[in-house]
Amino acid sequence: MPNILDGKKLAQEIELILQQAIQSGSEVANRPPGLAVLRVGNDPASGVYVNYKEKACNRIGVRSFAKHVKEDIALEELLEIIQSFNQDKNVDGILLQLPLPSHLDEASLLRSIDPDKDADGLHPMNLGRLIKGEKGPRSCTPAGVMALLEKNEITIEGKRAVVVGRSILVGKPMALMLEAANATVTVAHSRTKDLPSLTRQADLLVVAAGKPNLIGKNHVSDNCVVVDVGIHRLPTDPKNLRETKKDKLCGDVKIFEIEDKVAAYSPVPGGVGPMTVTMLLANTVDRWQKHCGLPLTISHLLP
């Protein structure tokens, strides 16, 4: 039987650690940690994710400063909002919910976030820190994958890892984190030729292509560990484009084809998704401890 990498359970365990850190530090800090989540426009998936993040903040005692602005906001106006969060002493982490409407320059907005409050680890300075192996806020999804592998005692050192996807949000930082943990890493993307023969060489396969059911039994070798980052909502009624609670979620991997073959896999839902939110909280609490001069008790949770 393969080992199921249960992100929901691990996320709950880590949330408890974060909650305890907040309780024990709040008196000295004289305030709780603060996370500002900035949402632009009405992308429905972003609405769902922002909602999860606010609920998670409430569960563990992080103060949430949510700001939802209209789709056609000007870049300058958004930069001003980010500046005000940068200067707000009650805000320890800032997250700009992606994707943004096409008229906005994502790179300049991410660069305008104070790197010390970069809850998503996407500021160029923090990506540079990741390349150099220096401590700093880490991209939440790959950080969550690393925590999931560690918790399940999956050895990374010396393993042949293949990451499918090279986005700044997931694929690239994932590859860097695996390499820092001494895996030998290959990154595949949409122009990679003969993906199955490459992924079959992997002891550890992380899939973040954003293509439902891309990976099946021909892509994996026996005893591989498969982490499925992809998340897709499949409408129960394809004619109705509005999301409903009956819609099914699936990942980039056809789990039913590989589950009897592999050593371990992460399910969708309940695998990487909950870990992403938890690592966002971990980055925020870590920043708060730093900003308030508290002992850095949770930084070991970040890769």
Torsion of CA 141, 144, 150, 156, to 10 degrees: 10
Assess 215 for contact with ligand NAP (CB under 6 A): no
What is the helix (H) or strand (E) element at residue 185, kind and residue range? strand 184-188
DSSP 8-state symbol, 250:
E
Residues 176, 252: Cα–Cα separation, whole Å: 21
Residue 70 is among the residues annotated as catalytic for this protein: no
| 8 A C-beta contact, residue 1 and residue 264 | no
Among residue numbers 221 through 260, which ones bind ligand NAP (CB under 6 A)? 229-231
> Is 206 among the residues that bind ligand NAP (CB under 6 A)?
no
Smallest distance from ligand NAP to CB 127, Å:
14
Helix (H, G, I), strand (E, B) or coil at 234: strand
Please, what is the end-to-end C-alpha distance for the chain in angstroms? 29
Among 173, 21, 141, CA closest to 92: 21
In degrees, rounded to 5, the angle at the alpha carbon of residue 283 between the alpha carbons of residues 150 and 189 is: 65
185 binds ligand NAP (CB under 6 A): no
Of 70, 189, 197, 201, which lies in the binding site for ligand NAP, with binding defined by CB under 6 A?
A: 189
97 in catalytic set? yes
Binding of ligand NAP by 171 (CB under 6 A) = yes
**Is the Cβ of residue 191 or residue 246 nearer to ligand NAP in the bound state?**
191
Active site residue 201: no
Q: Given the residues 92, 120, 203, 228, select the one marked as catalytic.
A: 120
Does residue 26 touch ligand NAP according to CB under 6 A?
Answer: no
Q: How far is the CB of 46 from ligand NAP (least distance, A)?
A: 11
d(CA 290, CA 180) in angstroms, rounded, equals 24
Q: Which of 126, 139, 141, 278 binds ligand NAP (CB under 6 A)?
A: 141
165 binds ligand NAP (CB under 6 A): yes
Could you list the active site residues? 53, 97, 120
- Contact positions vs ligand NAP (CB under 6 A): 141, 164-167, 169-171, 188-192, 195, 208-211, 214, 229-231, 272-273, 276
